[in-house]
Amino acid sequence: MPFTPFHMGPGIFIKALLQGSFSLMVFGWTQVVMDIQPLVVLISGEGHLHGFTHTFAGATLLAVASALSGKYVAEFGLRFIGETGYLPIRWVVVLLSAFIGAYSHVLLDGIMHADLQPFAPFSASNAFLGIFSVEVLHDFCLYSGLVGAGLYYAISQWIAGRQGAR
């Protein structure tokens, strides 16, 4: 993705489906962590744009780091905005969210970036490259976020209605 927020569309959709079993904040944090290395390359002009951090091996390590730091970042964020009813975020939710975030990042970037080697160091090939066009990829990210937001709202209203009926 040329811009980290595009990755949030599928994350919003997953949040709608998994609700409290998925942390969109940890997922988002993982997206930022994943793109630190390419940002450094863009700023410095040195290094491989989509290097080790954009492999499944690197994403595994970054998912663990994102989970360990993201739990506390997300909990701080929730406290800051006054949403303490969602605290604490369970570790299983944190780990699931970070791993989905890291692996989906590699998959989505793999579709559009020729320099990405998702299976390195075992293979230099990129089986995801060009599965569909960059335009379709961007549309998918955008529309999955829009559908996810609508679905999240609808499911939240349905759950609230069921709880109010009790």
Domain contains 165: no
Domain contains 98: yes
Domain carrying residue 141? 4-160
Domain contains 156: yes
Domain contains 166: no
- The pLDDT score that the predictor gives to residue 3 is 59
Number of domains in the chain: 1
Instruction: Give the number of C-alpha atoms closer than 13 A to the C-alpha of residue 113, restricted to the C-beta side.
Output: 20
Domain contains 151: yes
Domain contains 28: yes
* Cα–Cα separations (whole angstroms), residue 157 to 25, 81, 84, 94, 164: 21, 21, 20, 25, 10
Question: What are the tens digits of pLDDT across the range 48-57?
Answer: 899 999 999 9
Ranges under pLDDT 70 in the chain: 1-3, 166
- The pLDDT score that the predictor gives to residue 161 is 86
CA 141 to chain centre: 11
